[in-house]
Amino acid sequence: MIFQGPSHEQLMLETIDSRNKKNLFDIKGTDMTIIWNTGESMTVDIDRMGFRLSRNQIIFLTDYHKIDCVEVESARLIRFNQPFFCPVNYDNEVGSKGLLFFGAMELPIVAILPEDIKKFETLWEIFWTEMQDRDSLQMDMLQALLKRMLILSARNLKKSSRFQSLQKSQFDIIREFSFLVEGNFAKHHDVAFYADKLNKSPKTLSNLFALASARPPLEIIHDRIMLHARRQLNFTRLSVKEISYSLGFEDVQSFSRFFKNREGIAPIQFRERSELHMTG
């Protein structure tokens, strides 16, 4: 089912199984995707990286992610665009910026806690019903339901991770760092830039991440650069030189050294291996 608002707002709800799983690949002009696995298990390749979701795990994607293939028994799909609801503009209400969407840390996968499964199930049922009620308040109701789902998901993610030991102010710094890296990784590769934006010292930021993440801030920045580099090598015909400049490196040699140190092979070899894998 699809809701279309008066100013290009769009929201889509759909139940997915093996027969219509192709719909997961069809973005249809939406910006954010939520996939809730309701089957025994689900495997999905995103940007040529494999993920396995257990029952009642939810994955959050933006239009920047590319789903390559998927195997699914049953799932629930929610897609919406930013005119319908922008997580950044409403972050003070839902707290999902840099956590569920537009973050540079790991791809967010939320495991619904057993005590919250009924809340999510009830929310989905109301969501489905409201999609069919055409009246002047429909969009307000659908936005409220989406907010509720994002709030519950953010809470579950925080409770089931190392974030639960943090104070709210510390947690918000980590979310903001993740959001800032996502928007600036191509230009700024050093922790000092992000620490300054957060009014913290690099050491303070590193100490905070030592409490909440297995990766220090610099590694998160570098991992985000590498993710973009792999995407460009896998899915575009841009030259290695063009990719290096788009990622803020002074010359192609610096980029090639950076890439090889982290990937183990040079960028051009990575592209050749990827093309061989696709043809094979």
Please report, for the domain that includes residue 68, its CATH number. Answer: 2.60.120.280
Q: Verify that 68 and 135 share a domain, yes or no.
A: yes
Q: Verify that 138 and 9 share a domain, yes or no.
A: yes
Question: What's the whole-model pTM score?
Answer: 0.90
35 with 73: CB under 8 angstroms? no
Among candidate residues 160, 195, 210, the one where a domain is terminated: 160
Among candidate residues 160, 180, 208, the one where a domain is terminated: 160
pLDDT for res 11: 94
Range of the domain at 26: 2-160
Q: Verify that 169 and 125 share a domain, yes or no.
A: no
Q: Verify that 222 and 128 share a domain, yes or no.
A: no
Among candidate residues 144, 160, 176, the one where a domain is terminated: 160
Q: Verify that 36 and 154 share a domain, yes or no.
A: yes
Q: Verify that 147 and 16 share a domain, yes or no.
A: yes
pLDDT for res 29: 64
Q: Verify that 156 and 238 share a domain, yes or no.
A: no
Give the whole-angstrom CA distance, residue 215 versus residue 120: 31
Q: Verify that 134 and 257 share a domain, yes or no.
A: no
Q: Verify that 197 and 278 share a domain, yes or no.
A: yes
206 with 191: CB under 8 angstroms? yes
Q: Verify that 130 and 58 share a domain, yes or no.
A: yes
Give the whole-angstrom CA distance, residue 130 versus residue 153: 20
Give the whole-angstrom CA distance, residue 106 versus residue 84: 25
Q: What is the pLDDT along the chain (280 residues), one digit of tens a residue?
A: 899 988 999 999 999 999 999 988 876 666 899 999 999 999 999 888 899 999 999 999 998 888 888 999 999 999 999 999 999 999 999 989 999 999 988 889 999 999 999 999 999 999 999 998 888 889 999 999 999 999 999 999 888 777 888 888 988 999 999 999 999 999 999 999 999 999 999 999 999 988 887 789 999 999 999 999 999 998 889 999 999 999 999 999 999 999 999 999 999 999 988 777 665 5
When divided into structural domains, the chain yields a total of: 2
Per-residue HEC secondary structure of the chain comes to CEEECCCCCEEEEEEEECCCHHHHHCCCCCCEEEEEECCCEEEEEECCEEEEEECCEEEEEECCCCEEEEEECEEEEEEECCCCCCCCCCHHHHCCECCCECCCCCCCEEECCHHHHHHHHHHHHHHHHHCCCCCCCHHHHHHHHHHHHHHHHHHHHHHCCHHHHCCHHHHHHHHHHHHHHHHHCCCCCCHHHHHHHCCCCHHHHHHHHHHHCCCCHHHHHHHHHHHHHHHHHHHCCCCHHHHHHHCCCCCHHHHHHHHHHHHCCCHHHHHHHHHHHHHC
CATH number for 194 = 1.10.10.60
Q: Verify that 121 and 175 share a domain, yes or no.
A: no
pLDDT for res 279: 56
Q: Verify that 33 and 117 share a domain, yes or no.
A: yes
